Chains A and B, each alone.
Chain A
């Protein structure tokens, strides 16, 4: 089986030749950048460099899919938020973010730009996907990453005001969730058009670490469901942290794959979600994958698999300083299952 067939087998509840392994979030590391001679910050802004970095996940790591982009700013910046370029830090080049002041206040009416897809760095992202499609054809799937409604809403009005509103004036958040969903979905469709085979939705602000579970159920669920319904290709939903308290609703969104951090229970997810949803996850990216030796990485992977994971993956975005051998160790484990 090639990588695409392997992943499709899991999605279709058939037996793959072995367990697939790839990231729902960014997997770019300095080791890979060095090898392919493609670096940050260029990889955040230039389609060709971005494609080179993403490709390394397949050619260097042996992952079964490649994933772009590597930050969470594309939609927000195209909507008008202030771009904060990555810092050049001692550990290496960083990841861009959204700067203050926020674009909107809660009482404002957000406006969706007509030329959204041509704004910010979206054109470069789409270019990267086209380059990857030419390179990989039907062998290796391309995962296009979008940001979920709650996180984009947080970029639009700033996270603290958004959180406060979820209890004080929850109806005021709706226009921003709506805008977030619209932006993410528009980007998803453009990514698919450019060649993306799978869409991965990252929504860290929707985590129970930040919002109450009932806020997820009463507000976010509606917009996420709408988004997943609009996307015709296989989808991944990734929410950081321990999502045990919202997992039952996460599976109601229509996502084909749920990507879990190790702190969330895959066993519980299976129990709450039934047999159809595919579970993805593996090892903690900030500690195990980043700092521990390969043996510990392997152990972590085995634990997750025993817990019910069907696609092995880093638990969240890979720390760029992660040693190459740790990522290779993951693939070894996947090959043995």
Chain B
């Protein structure tokens, strides 16, 4: 009689073990949407255009945006979180998604409705903006309008952009300790102007301890947290509540 010594396969449901870690999951049950989503997941900004054009013959632009493009980007985000995807792939997928969105917006004759505005920047004196590139991509993918101020942005330019756009949230990225000293100044000036906008700061130099030392500051541990934080800000959470929730 054969004696079982390895019990790992007992009680395994084989219909649930088809997926392995490291594989992209199906994004949509609709084959047209799934095909478009694949181009997002594969980061193919050339191949996606004809497929989106074709789909717009039978699908509405907003459906394509939500069910294929944004949904595809969410899958990319998940793959990145689980360590299967790396930064270059996130950037390529975001580019592919944007090509698709542009085509859909052209069909609609207007830009897609955006949930709210977020002003993003990399600190004055700092040229290391990869973190911000990712934050921009993820916020964009999650329906926010990103006011991208770029890198090495003077403090007053950030403050005036906030005054002009009244964003739900403002973000700052800094790789060097020499440049992150701009952030408390921004927090102070925004507060003084009566703008209690949640100011999410992250990047290599930036620590929770530093960011929570000035008003409005909320520490962003990972770029991937930006959309969730923006949703909270959009829902009306104060910076204090957000700090409590995200920084403990």
A167 touches B43 (CB 8 A): yes
Q: Decide if A163 is an interface residue (CB 8 Å cutoff).
A: yes
Interface residues of B in 166-216 (CB under 8 A from A): 176-179, 181-182, 185, 204-207, 209-210
Question: Within 8 Å CB of A321, what residues of B?
Answer: 177-178
Q: Decide if A212 is an interface residue (CB 8 Å cutoff).
A: yes
CB B173 to nearest CB in A, in angstroms, measures: 13
Question: Within 8 Å CB of A306, what residues of B?
Answer: none
A211 touches B87 (CB 8 A): yes
Interface residues of A in 76-125 (CB under 8 A from B): 84, 86-87, 89-95, 97-99
**Known pairs A99-B127, A210-B87, A286-B206; A319 contacts B92 (CB<8 A):** no
Question: Within 8 Å CB of B89, what residues of A?
Answer: 167, 212
B179 touches A94 (CB 8 A): yes
Interface residues as binary, A53-87 with B (CB distance below 8 Å gives 1, 0 otherwise): 00000000000000000000000000000001011
Q: Decide if A287 is an interface residue (CB 8 Å cutoff).
A: yes
Interface residues of A in 252-307 (CB under 8 A from B): 285-287, 290-291
Interface residues as binary, B20-50 with A (CB distance below 8 Å gives 1, 0 otherwise): 0000000000000000000000010000000
**Known pairs A90-B185, A210-B130; A168 contacts B178 (CB<8 A):** no
Question: Within 8 Å CB of B87, what residues of A?
Answer: 163, 209-211
Name the residue in B88, B130, B133 with the highest tally of chain A Cβ atoms < 10 Å from its Cβ.
Answer: B88
Select A160's contact among B125, B127, B130, beta carbons within 8 Å: B130
Q: A159-B130, A164-B91, A286-B207 are in contact. List 6 more A-B contacts (CB 8 A).
A: A87-B124, A90-B181, A92-B178, A95-B178, A212-B88, A320-B178
Shortest 3 CB-CB contacts between residues of A and residues of B: A319-B177, A91-B181, A87-B125
B92 touches A167 (CB 8 A): yes
* Cα distance, A89 to B92, chains bound together (Å): 34
Select A97's contact among B92, B127, B181, beta carbons within 8 Å: B127
Q: Decide if B246 is an interface residue (CB 8 Å cutoff).
A: no
Question: Within 8 Å CB of B185, what residues of A?
Answer: 90
Question: Within 8 Å CB of B205, what residues of A?
Answer: 286, 319
* Cα distance, A75 to B19, chains bound together (Å): 47
**Known pairs A159-B130, A291-B207; A89 contacts B88 (CB<8 A):** no
**Known pairs A98-B127, A164-B91; A290 contacts B178 (CB<8 A):** no
Question: Within 8 Å CB of B124, what residues of A?
Answer: 87, 89
Q: Decide if A166 is an interface residue (CB 8 Å cutoff).
A: yes
A84 touches B127 (CB 8 A): yes
Question: Within 8 Å CB of B177, what residues of A?
Answer: 91, 285-286, 290, 319-321
Q: Closest residue of chain A to B207, judged by CB?
A: A287
Q: Closest residue of chain B to A320, judged by CB?
A: B178
Interface residues as binary, B129-167 with A (CB distance below 8 Å gives 1, 0 otherwise): 010010000000000000000001000000000000000
Q: Closest residue of chain B to A163, judged by CB?
A: B88
Name the residue in A89, A97, A164 with the highest tally of chain B Cβ atoms < 10 Å from its Cβ.
Answer: A89
A166 touches B88 (CB 8 A): yes
Q: Decide if A208 is an interface residue (CB 8 Å cutoff).
A: yes
Question: Within 8 Å CB of A97, what residues of B?
Answer: 127
* Cα distance, A86 to B152, chains bound together (Å): 11
* Cα distance, A160 to B90, chains bound together (Å): 11
* Cα distance, A210 to B134, chains bound together (Å): 11
Select A291's contact among B130, B204, B210, beta carbons within 8 Å: B210
Question: Within 8 Å CB of B125, what residues of A?
Answer: 86-87, 89, 94
